Copies of this chain bind each other. A is one copy, B any other.
């Protein structure tokens, strides 16, 4: 290899295609589409909540144990704003969103590694504060922090967490197993984290004087929404409840980018369509009130808001009786034939095509 090492600002020479023309998922697909596993231990690579690895080749055991691995990158100014996100909450959330991906495979998170980029304005106490959140999350979910890399950052804060987990092979739930007529279920409620973010953003702007003080609403009575944004939990309880009830979902994932976007993933990977019903989507009353107050469509918030970290899963109609008694699980629709597409059925019976409008990893940008 004899590249031309002469120094150059080559960025500007060859840029042609803006990333937002592909979007995050299009980009990932383009980058990884023809990757062929070389390792016998790689069972499933890119494309689900976590990769599935098998380190037991040649080992005799009755339960085939699999290792799951997932990674998440949180960048200051994109995923969080330190003007209103307390560092301890940020650490907690950074860990929990990774646990959520492992639960979404029906696995148990076991270890994390933490990569941390810190700008000069951070002192030791601030890093300890962030770490105390990570460690609290680890403690609560029984996960070990086993490695990391810590570095100065010339720019903003970066948190890169990778989470390992375990699951028996027979228990693992992928995105690709949904069958026609399966019920579509979600846990908790949707849109709350997004509305929590809107409240925090409104307050931030108000405090900067960009908007008249008249518009400032106190956070009293809205703590729940803030908590959903700042300190989400992974739905371990739902995974456990399903197991206890003898329900084995055919497909599952966590809702990080919004219900709409996640449903599209399940439909695409399972080769099916879906119909969900507007009036079945679970919405918290505080969220509804704040959406109204802010002139936002609450259903749009629920479909596209993201960061709820609730579980979305499908299961056979025959599980209906088992589902009904379960707390905090809602049937929102059913899986259809692929030719019917992914549709939202409105309150008046009108059908609207769902679009993956979820959180934009690559918004339109101008330099």
Show the binding face of A for B, using Cβ within 8 Å.
Answer: 1-3, 5-12, 14-19, 21-22, 24, 27-28, 30-32, 35, 37-39, 41-42, 44-46, 50-51, 53, 55-56, 58-61, 65, 67, 69-73, 75-79, 82-84, 86, 89, 110-111, 113-118, 120-128, 131, 135, 138-139, 142-156, 158, 160, 162, 164, 166, 200, 203-204, 207, 219, 223, 226-227, 230-231, 361-363, 365-367
Contact = CB atoms under 8 A, between A and B. Distances in A.
A121 B10 CA distance: 11
Nearest to A160: B160
B144 A38 contact: yes
A83 B10 CA distance: 7
Nearest to A135: B35
A111 to B, nearest CB: 6
A286 to B, nearest CB: 14
A11 to B, nearest CB: 5
Nearest to A98: B149
Contacts of A61: 58-60
Q: Which 9 A-B pairs have the closest CB atoms?
A: A155-B155, A160-B160, A77-B154, A51-B146, A73-B115, A120-B365, A15-B123, A162-B162, A17-B124
A70 to B, nearest CB: 6
A44 B114 CA distance: 15
Nearest to A151: B361
Contacts of A58: 61
A53 B69 CA distance: 13
Given A7-B83, A61-B60, A128-B30, A76 B154 contact: yes
A12 B120 CA distance: 12
A113 B79 contact: no
A18 B124 contact: yes
Contacts of A126: 11, 14-15
A156 B223 CA distance: 34
A227 to B, nearest CB: 8
A127 B19 contact: yes
Given A361-B152, A365-B152, A3 B86 contact: yes
Contacts of A207: 7
B162 A71 contact: yes
B24 A151 contact: yes
A15 B123 CA distance: 5
Contacts of A30: 124, 128
Nearest to A365: B120
Contact of A155 (B89, B115, B156, B230): B156
A48 to B, nearest CB: 9
A147 B45 contact: yes
A76 to B, nearest CB: 7
A35 B12 CA distance: 47
B200 A7 contact: yes
Given A24-B150, A27-B150, A41 B365 contact: no
